[in-house]
Amino acid sequence: MSGIRRYQVITWFTAFSLLTYLCAGTPFSGKADTQSDHGASQVGDQSTELSSEVWTQRDNVSPDLRKQIDDAVGRGAFSAMAVKKDLVKVVVQLKQRRDSKLNAFMNSSEVVEKGRFLNLNARVVEMPVTEVNRLAGFRGVDYISLDRNVEMLGHVETTAGALAMRQQSGNSGLKGTGIGIAVLDSSIYNDHRSFEDNNDHCRIVANVDFTGLGMNRDDPYGHGSHVAGLAAGSDNDISSSYKGIAPDARLINLRVLNSEGKGTTSGVLAALDWVMSHRAQYNIRVVNMSLGTLAVDSYVNDPLCRAVRRLVDAGVVCVVAAGNNGKDSNGNKIYGLIHSPGNEPSAITVGATNTYGTDARSDDTIATYSSRGPTRSYWTDTQGNKHYDNLVKPELVAPGNKLISAEGKSNFLVTRNPQLDASDTGNEERKLMYLSGTSMAAPIVAGAAALMLQARPSLTPNMVKAILMYTAQPIAGFNMFEQGAGQVNIEGAVRLAKLVRTTLNNSTPLGSSLLSTLTPPIPLSTVGGQTFIWGQGIIAGYTYVTGINLITQYQRVYGTGMLLADGILVSNGMLLADATKLSSAMLVGNNILISNGMLLADGWAFLSCGMLLADGMLLADGMLLADGMLLADGMLLADGMLLADAMTQANNAQINGDYGSCMLP
């Protein structure tokens, strides 16, 4: 069948499917499309109870855990002998209201507590799989999911715009001084010169282990040191070419990955719980997570997403790598493989660009491996119907291909792949290495956030996120599921951040002046010798919002306890601005995805946001996406699972043949 003929068949099939879907009476209302907004308002609240009628009909056991229960039933695992062999380790999210029966069950001999997260109202327990349904039946239980495996996902100062920013008058001291960046990773090599200040004192102010293996300050895997160096590495006795974005920031070293780059959901939860308790002590304003796990549960249920939301609501910017599953084994584009917690709407999810080793941004492209949106995590109702999140992700992209940064002492990655060593010295404390991946792009954005917060400590996480997107540079030839709002522009972001009023808070009236000046900044930046126009818009859940009022008038969604998407109302597929949270004179959902990377109106509409459905189909004005491969039910999604582990996460480190660099899945 010819390509044109095949495309026509797909188009007619899609139109017929949509017509059948609508005519069959399947609910296509605000509940299906805006369920994430409803849930969002609950996650930041300690109760986290979902009051909508549709949510009371959800299954409160994650799909992969539900499958294990069904498999146990099929094997006859309910016999006394089999019960001992079918133990599962699960994360139990609790409601505020509990009863004595639940407490008695949790303290019974059948349940072994492995961890407790007081700030997150959750526990990790080991129990027979056959008892999970019983636990799920207690009123005080909100959601139960498997303690899934977590893995890492992998000239910066010039090409990201940090150098251009520091060269401007009054900015030479903006280096992240006093700002704490928590790095959740494989540890940081404490003795590396990249992590010293000008007085040769280590800037790593805390080292805490959450793997159960003990704290190893040499970073035996090597991933965390590289990530930390990109966010906040200095140039002490090394080279200014490999300085990090915020070279004076404090680093908080939280080890959640072992010497082979493996970790668990419970380990990451423990680290995030620790950050919540110690954020004031170390002035932790930014968390970097260059790691992730398959995004199965909707962000409303996912324990990692809910933990991230708690931190964001508490004033901590959370930056997460999008993932490295942007193509299949044949090199075809894949959509819909954003990892958790990158599927959380309050997080800043970062994809990777390939700069081809140049400072100029004119030749930059999206790295082929960088995971694309939309998010395909979902929740299941009691009838077995899946409701997908389908959020536009990532929000930003940043340089991530073949970057040079600090090398952990005698680490696993370099030992297995000697070509990754970028050093010309035998001194362990000065060695550098190459790595590639969205893991490397995320700390670029984390460092940028630290600079903005030093310049304007009063910025909320939502303001930081909005400013980074508004000032980003759209990359020609790539849609928003690939690049979000565009490539990070630190020069523009800091310049705009410095103009934001310092007296803004959640009580500030909608439409009040956002800036301390009546003259907004010129939306142009010159970085690496190239002058470009800012994108001048923000991604808000399912859509893209543009307008000068985004930076001249205070938007209620810039406060804490909200999402940028909370100002968008969806009714029968139409997008409306919520006048209580977004001011007027802005465009909402006007051809959200563009192909030429210039101004919004100049690009071809890749996908109209009003046609982004939650039933497993992605429509572009009545047609299936033709750019790459569609993750539609029955194609690349099997029972809701996103691709087989054998394809996407088989190796800890594989060599990217295009550029000879190491790509970390």
DSSP 429-467: GG-EEEEBSHHHHHHHHHHHHHHHHHH-TT--HHHHHHH
Domain boundary among 147, 172, 206: 147
**pLDDT top residue among 593 and 56:** 56
Same domain, yes or no: 97 and 241:
no
Report the C-alpha gap between 21 and 250 in whole angstroms.
Answer: 53
The arithmetic mean of pLDDT across residues 28-34, rounded, is: 28
Could you tell me if residue 664 is inside a domain?
no
Same domain, yes or no: 244 and 269:
yes
Percent of the chain with pLDDT over 90: 56
Q: Is the confidence at residue 409, as pLDDT, over 60?
A: yes
Q: Is the confidence at residue 397, as pLDDT, over 90?
A: yes
Strand ranges inside 258-300, DSSP E: 262-264, 284-289, 291-292
Q: Is the confidence at residue 29, as pLDDT, over 70?
A: no
For residue 374, say if its preceding peptide bond is cis, omega within 30 degrees of 0. Answer: yes
Could you tell me if residue 613 is inside a domain?
yes
**pLDDT top residue among 611 and 361:** 361
Could you tell me if residue 359 is inside a domain?
yes
pLDDT digits (tens, 9 = 90+) for 176-207: 999 999 999 999 999 999 999 989 999 999 99
* Residue carrying structure tokens 């931190």: 311
Q: How many domains does the chain have?
A: 2
Whole-number pLDDT of residue 258: 95
Could you tell me if residue 196 is inside a domain?
yes
* Maximum mean pLDDT: which of 8-22, 158-172, 376-390, 566-580: 376-390
Whole-number pLDDT of residue 154: 46
Report the C-alpha gap between 462 and 468 in whole angstroms.
Answer: 10
Whole-number pLDDT of residue 57: 66
The arithmetic mean of pLDDT across residues 72-82, rounded, is: 60
Same domain, yes or no: 268 and 368:
yes
Same domain, yes or no: 447 and 464:
yes
Same domain, yes or no: 222 and 264:
yes
* Maximum mean pLDDT: which of 234-238, 300-304, 423-427: 300-304
Same domain, yes or no: 530 and 574:
yes
Report the C-alpha gap between 539 and 660 in whole angstroms.
Answer: 33
Whole-number pLDDT of residue 589: 57
Report the C-alpha gap between 238 and 588 in whole angstroms.
Answer: 47
Token output for 161: 């715009």
Categorize the per-residue pLDDT at 453 as very low, low, confident or very high, splitting at 50, 70 and 90.
very high
CA nearest 480: which of 330, 590, 377?
Answer: 590
Instruction: Classify residue 70 by burial, with Cβ atoms within 10 Å: 0-12, 13-18, 19+.
Output: exposed
Same domain, yes or no: 114 and 193:
no
Q: How many CB atoms lie within 10 A of CB 20?
A: 10
Instruction: Classify residue 334 by burial, with Cβ atoms within 10 Å: 0-12, 13-18, 19+.
Output: buried
Whole-number pLDDT of residue 622: 30
Domain containing 70: what range? 55-147
Could you tell me if residue 3 is inside a domain?
no
DSSP bridge pairs for 365: 354
For 50-67, letters b (16+ CB in 10 Å) and e give beeebbeebbbbbbbbbe
Could you tell me if residue 39 is inside a domain?
no
Whole-number pLDDT of residue 315: 98
pLDDT digits (tens, 9 = 90+) for 487-534: 999 999 999 999 999 999 999 999 999 999 999 999 999 998 889 999
**pLDDT top residue among 499 and 354:** 499
Residues 6+ apart with CB under 8 A from 431: 192, 406, 407, 421, 423, 425
Report the C-alpha gap between 413 and 418 in whole angstroms.
Answer: 8
Q: How far does Cα 177 stand from its chain's mean position?
A: 25
CATH number of the domain bearing residue 70: 3.30.70.80
Chain mean pLDDT for the chain:
79
The arithmetic mean of pLDDT across residues 362-385, rounded, is: 90
Report the C-alpha gap between 647 and 629 in whole angstroms.
Answer: 15
Whole-number pLDDT of residue 396: 97
Categorize the per-residue pLDDT at 591 as very low, low, confident or very high, splitting at 50, 70 and 90.
very low
Categorize the per-residue pLDDT at 479 as very low, low, confident or very high, splitting at 50, 70 and 90.
confident
CATH number of the domain bearing residue 180: 3.40.50.200
The CA radius of gyration of the chain, in Å to the nearest whole number, is: 24
Same domain, yes or no: 342 and 241:
yes
* Maximum mean pLDDT: which of 101-110, 183-192, 640-649: 183-192
Q: Is the confidence at residue 632, as pLDDT, over 50?
A: no
Whole-number pLDDT of residue 291: 95
Token output for 297: 């549960």
CB 448 within 8 A of CB 162: yes
Element (H, E) at 620: strand 619-620
Domain boundary among 129, 147, 165: 147
Dihedral angle computed from the Cα positions of residues 228, 653, 475 and 536, in that order, rounded to the nearest 10 degrees: -40
Q: Is the confidence at residue 439, as pLDDT, over 90?
A: yes
Domain boundary among 147, 171, 204: 147
Active-site positions read 185, 223, 439
Whole-number pLDDT of residue 156: 61
Helix (H, G, I), strand (E, B) or coil at 49: coil
Residues 6+ apart with CB under 8 A from 472: 396, 484, 485, 486, 487, 488, 489, 534, 535
Q: How far does Cα 568 stand from its chain's mean position?
A: 21
Could you tell me if residue 38 is inside a domain?
no
Report the C-alpha gap between 239 and 162 in whole angstroms.
Answer: 16
Could you tell me if residue 656 is inside a domain?
no
Whole-number pLDDT of residue 567: 84
Residue 35 to residues 299, 391, 463, 588, 616: CA-CA distances in angstroms? 11, 11, 24, 19, 15
Report the C-alpha gap between 472 and 536 in whole angstroms.
Answer: 8
Report the C-alpha gap between 55 and 535 in whole angstroms.
Answer: 36
Same domain, yes or no: 191 and 315:
yes
Q: Is the confidence at residue 36, as pLDDT, over 80?
A: no
Same domain, yes or no: 441 and 477:
yes
Report the C-alpha gap between 477 and 88 in whole angstroms.
Answer: 46
Whole-number pLDDT of residue 607: 42
Categorize the per-residue pLDDT at 157 as very low, low, confident or very high, splitting at 50, 70 and 90.
low
Whole-number pLDDT of residue 161: 62
Same domain, yes or no: 137 and 202:
no
Same domain, yes or no: 254 and 304:
yes
Categorize the per-residue pLDDT at 305 as very low, low, confident or very high, splitting at 50, 70 and 90.
very high
Report the C-alpha gap between 519 and 266 in whole angstroms.
Answer: 48
Whole-number pLDDT of residue 37: 32
Q: Is 235 left (phi over 0), alpha (psi -120 to 50) or beta?
A: alpha
The arithmetic mean of pLDDT across residues 243-253, rounded, is: 95
DSSP bridge pairs for 522: none
pLDDT digits (tens, 9 = 90+) for 542-565: 888 888 999 999 999 999 999 998
Categorize the per-residue pLDDT at 652 as very low, low, confident or very high, splitting at 50, 70 and 90.
very low
Q: How many CB atoms lie within 10 A of CB 99?
A: 11
Whole-number pLDDT of residue 153: 58
